[in-house]
Structure 1
Amino acid sequence: MVTPLALPEPAMRTALVLSLLILALSGCDAGATATTAALQAEQAKQAQQQMDQLKQQIDQANAQSQQRLQQLEQESQ
């Protein structure tokens, strides 16, 4: 005989798993944490790309400066 508060074994297991899942998601706010992590990863990627672009610009400016310096040295000889 099944009492009003008791559920059959498979239904009880399913209810328990769903309850724990809902509790875990609401308690930890895992969705927001994952979203925040994804946004931070994207920001880090963009920052790295910007740093790479700035490094290229600095390298180009240094190369131009070196070329001008060499030209001036050749002209002064």
Structure 2
Amino acid sequence: MKRLALLLTLTLLAGCGVETASTAATAGAAKAREAEQAQNTKERMQQQIDAASAQAAARLQAADEAAR
């Protein structure tokens, strides 16, 4: 009887370990996706900033040439 109780306890604990590992893997994958999305957002924002900067420089140059 004690062996059966021990076996049942060990089986339940092993099941908890598998569930914990699965949960950790899922959370890790979600964090990886978040990091990738953040990197993509950063790159898009940098492109927009660069485009706005180039546009401002072109306007400044046009205004400078018009003033001559």
TM range, smaller chain: 0.7 to 0.9
Are residue 38 (structure 1) and residue 5 (structure 2) matched?
Answer: no
Aligned residues: 58
Rg: which structure is higher?
A: 1
The one of the two structures with greater contact order (alpha-carbon pairs below 8 A, sep at least 6) is 1
Q: What amino acid sits opposite 2:17 in the alignment? A: G
Q: In the alignment, what sits opposite 2:59?
A: 68
Q: What amino acid sits opposite 2:46 in the alignment? A: K
User: Offset of 1:26 from its aligned partner?
Assistant: 1.4
Give structure 1 regions of 4+ aligned residues with deviation exceeding 3 angstroms: none
- After superposition, the C-alpha distances for 1:12-33 in whole angstroms (9 at most, x for unaligned) are xxxxxxx68x62x513700000
For 2:67 and 2:28, the matched residues in 1 are separated by 58
For 2:41 and 2:59, the matched residues in 1 are separated by 27
For 1:26 and 1:66, the matched residues in 2 are separated by 61
Unaligned runs of 5+ in 1: 6-18
- Greater share of helix residues, 1 or 2? 2
TM-score of the superposition, structure 2-length normalised? 0.75
RMSD, matched Cα: 2.1
Between the aligned residues of both structures, percent identity stands at 34
Unaligned runs of 5+ in 2: 4-9
* Alignment equivalent of 1:27, drawn from 8, 17, 28: 17
